Amino acid sequence: MRTWISGPLCAAPAGASTRRAPLRLGMDTAHACGARPLADRARTELLATGARPRRLAVWGADALTASERRVVELAASGLTNRRIAQELFVTGATVETHLRHAFSKLGVRSRVELRGIAQGEQARTSGSTCDASATLAAPPCAPLTANPRSHHTCKATA
């Protein structure tokens, strides 16, 4: 039998910031697994610690803003930054910023990797059966205190 504690578990002011990293990771993992109630609960707990989570996903394709997604799609199709800027009526610096943020959220370092992720995402949304989780989700060995914006590289063991 499960016992649920009502009210935010992390509302205590002392040490609240140390509880944020596991809660952020838990929120993102629950969202990626489709466990919306659990993701919502983790979000509530994060808010109780004083954090200001902007979206459920903090990395992966779901974490991209609409502008970042448009820039990523155009970059993956082979357009240069200058051409992307012309297409979207923004500056080259804006394109660079969106790409930098997208690269960080997706955990990629080059346009070649970006192209592979964009193709996997396109196949996933078109109903194809592919394992996009390997490229779109967080690294399986990411520690609870990992910064999702850093380039975490590891060898996952089976």
Fold annotation for 61-136: Arc Repressor Mutant, subunit A (1.10.10)
- Residue 126 CB-density burial (10 A; 0-12 exposed, 13-18 middle, 19+ buried): exposed
Give the domain ranges of the chain: 16-48, 61-136
pLDDT per residue as tens digits for the range 139-148: 333 333 334 4
Task: Give the confidence band of 133 by pLDDT, cuts at 50, 70, 90.
Answer: very low
pLDDT per residue as tens digits for the range 67-125: 999 999 999 999 999 999 999 999 999 999 999 999 999 999 999 898 888 777 665 55
Pair of tokens at residue 92: 């080259």
Q: Is 46 a residue whose pLDDT tops 60?
A: yes
Tokens 């803003």 locate to 65
Q: Mean pLDDT lowest for which of 2-6, 17-21, 23-27, 94-98?
A: 2-6
- Residue 102 CB-density burial (10 A; 0-12 exposed, 13-18 middle, 19+ buried): buried
